[in-house]
Amino acid sequence: MGPEGEAQCGLDGVAFEISIQIDGKKRTIVLDKLFKYADIDVHLFTELLQILRRHFPDYDLVVPTLQGYELAREIRRFLGLPKVQCVFLKGEAEERLLMGDSLQDLSYDRILEDTGRHYEQRGGLNEARQRAWRGRELAMFLHDEDGEEAVLWMQVRIGLSG
């Protein structure tokens, strides 16, 4: 990286941070962290996905605390529709965890659509990206009859084979 790229890096000159756990018995890969701190021409998720698919094609990808809208869109784009295992939401008055039967009326695509609409109404994704700090993901949102809630995180699971 040139001096401009290095100046954009996070703490101690770190350009990106990835944390995964591979469990051969459960045949899962848990993606704990995927943060990009510098404006470098590398799409981390697609690069990581190529490596994982090559070496672990029959495994499931589990993202236990998916927070970022752009990563959520990339998962949908490259792997298909993941199974939402739980969602932690924050509204104006309360926080709530949805799991099991309470997820029946909620879909991954609905969260992506509501989030896209949220950003469109506020100047678009580019505007939101410019306001975000480096390494920070764009938040996701869910809109229902009670208003808009922030998706603090959700746990999803999908096969790497797509």
pLDDT in tens, 41-62: 567 888 899 999 999 999 999 9
Say whether 93 sits in a helix, a strand or coil. coil
- Which residue from 44, 47, 42 is spatially nearest to 5, judged by alpha carbons? 42
Say whether 145 sits in a helix, a strand or coil. coil
Cα–chain center distance at 44: 12
- pLDDT grade for 105, boundaries at 50, 70 and 90: confident
Is the predicted pLDDT of residue 96 greater than 60, yes or no? yes
User: Considering all CA atoms of the chain, what is the largest pairwise distance in Å, rounded to the nearest integer?
Assistant: 52
Q: Which two tokens stand for residue 85?
A: 């295992």
113-162 pLDDT, tens digit per residue, is 999 999 999 888 778 777 766 556 789 999 988 789 999 999 999 999 86
Number of other CB atoms surrounding residue 135 within 10 Å: 17
Say whether 17 sits in a helix, a strand or coil. strand
**Cβ 89 vs Cβ 96: under 8 Å:** yes
7-41 pLDDT, tens digit per residue, is 666 666 777 788 999 999 999 999 998 877 766 65
Percent of the chain with pLDDT over 90: 59
Q: Which two tokens stand for residue 111?
A: 């969260």
pTM over cut 0.75:
yes
138: Cβ–Cβ under 8 A, 6 or more apart, which residues? 68, 69, 70, 115, 119, 125, 128, 129, 132
The predicted structure's pLDDT at residue 142 = 94
- pLDDT grade for 109, boundaries at 50, 70 and 90: very high
Give dist(CA 72, CA 108) in Å, integer.
9
Give dist(CA 49, CA 45) in Å, integer.
6
